[in-house]
Amino acid sequence: MGDSDNIKMVARNRKAKRDYQIHSTLEAGIELKGAEVKSIRDGKINLADAYAVVEESQLVLKNLHISPYAMATDCTLDPMRPRRLLVHKREIRKLFTQTEQKGMTLIPLSIYFRGPHCKIELAVASGRKKYDKRQAIAKAEADRRMKQAMKKDL
C-alpha cells in the first residue's frame, strides 16, 4: 500500500505556511468519540486556532472545533473538547524537547482519512514576524511570475 493510496483530504490549515516557519512534520491519529467521525467526513471541522501540547506524557490537540453531527441522537460532546493524539512515546519525547525551545509550537496542517482512519498532519513550527510574512509572500509571487514566464517561453 503506497503513501497516496486511499487518502481523502478533509481540511487544510491554509494560513499555517504563511504565519509559521515549518521545521518538521509528523502524522498522528486522533482519538474521536461518537459521531465525530461522521461530522469530520462531512467537513464540519475548523483548524484555524488549533494547536497541540504535551501534557502528562500525552499529546493533546486543543481548540479544534468539530461541529456536532446533525443526525446523531446522543450528541452531548463539547465541540471544542481536547482530543488525544495517537503517537509513539519516543515521538512524544522528541516533540516535547523541540517545543520546549523558545518560540516553537505544534500546529495542525491538515486532517485527512487514510483508509478508514482519521489522521492529522502536525508541524513543529515557529511564528513569523510581520516583515517575515511579507518576504514570504513576495518570494512566492516572484516564483509564480517566474513559472508563468517560463510557460510563455515554451
- Determine, yes or no, domain membership for 14: yes
CATH of the domain at 84: 2.40.280.10
- Determine, yes or no, domain membership for 99: yes
CB within 8 A of 69, min separation 6: which ones? 34, 35, 36, 38, 39, 42, 44, 75
Q: What is the pLDDT along the chain (154 residues), one digit of tens a residue?
A: 455 568 899 999 988 888 888 999 999 999 998 888 999 999 899 998 899 999 998 999 999 999 888 887 776 788 899 999 999 999 999 999 998 988 899 999 999 999 889 999 999 999 888 877 888 888 889 999 999 998 887 7
- Determine, yes or no, domain membership for 132: no
8 A C-beta contact, residue 137 and residue 15: no
Q: How many domains does the chain have?
A: 1
- Determine, yes or no, domain membership for 147: no
